[in-house]
Amino acid sequence: MEWLSLAVLGLLIVISPGADFILVLKNSVNRGRKAGVWTALGVSLAICVHIAYSMLGISYLISQNEVLFNAVRYAGCGYLFYLGVKGIVTAGANPEVEVMSDSPKEVAVLQCLAQGFLCNLLNPKTMLFFLSIFSQVITPDASGNGSALLYGLYMMALHGLWFCMLAMLFTSSALQQHLLSMKKRLNQACGAGLLTFSALLAIKT
């Protein structure tokens, strides 16, 4: 597969709305810019794990083992279900949001980082995407390992830049007040979206 095609495919995968998008939106609107950025960084860091097991061939073994694959799939379903229920239940909460503040006590950095990391890591669709792509760039004599690593780093940077940009956009002065005015409905929609992704992931064979 040509590198330009791989680059475009990676871009389309990243920008297509999914659970990561919803989580970054929810954290940005509710907890401010810093929370959105750290959630985005968590999503990006999870790509390191996908790169590692794809290059080691573990993703192939998991995809061929129904028990292991289902364990990963249902773990992802459970986490998205938890985030969805939490988003709906706490939709009316009104935490302080200071978009431009740098106060370290304002955002639970590790919590946002972990949410983004787990949301992406526990998505078997991401695992299978990396498996299918890496099968195109890794050759039997391992000469393609360098190219595969570069592509993985490209995907990691792409995730980080895209979701950080979204966090900045969602907390911009032009959108912030409008989004905050509809925060409860937005939280409910985000929660419902996460529950939908959880259900689709659970029933997909």
Tell me the pLDDT tens digit for each residue of 39-88.
Answer: 999 999 999 998 888 777 766 677 677 787 778 778 878 887 887 888 78
The answer to whether the predicted template modeling score (pTM) of the entire model surpasses 0.75 is no
**What are the structural domain ranges in the chain?**
19-90+104-203
User: Which distant-in-sequence residues (6+ apart) come within 8 Å of 65 by Cβ?
Assistant: none
Report d(CA 52, CA 56) in Å as an integer: 6
Q: What is the separation of C-alpha 83 from the centre of its chain, rounded to a whole number of angstroms?
A: 13
Tell me the pLDDT tens digit for each residue of 92-141.
Answer: 665 544 444 444 445 688 999 999 999 999 887 787 777 766 665 555 55
Coil, strand or helix at 91: coil
Amino acid present at 122? L
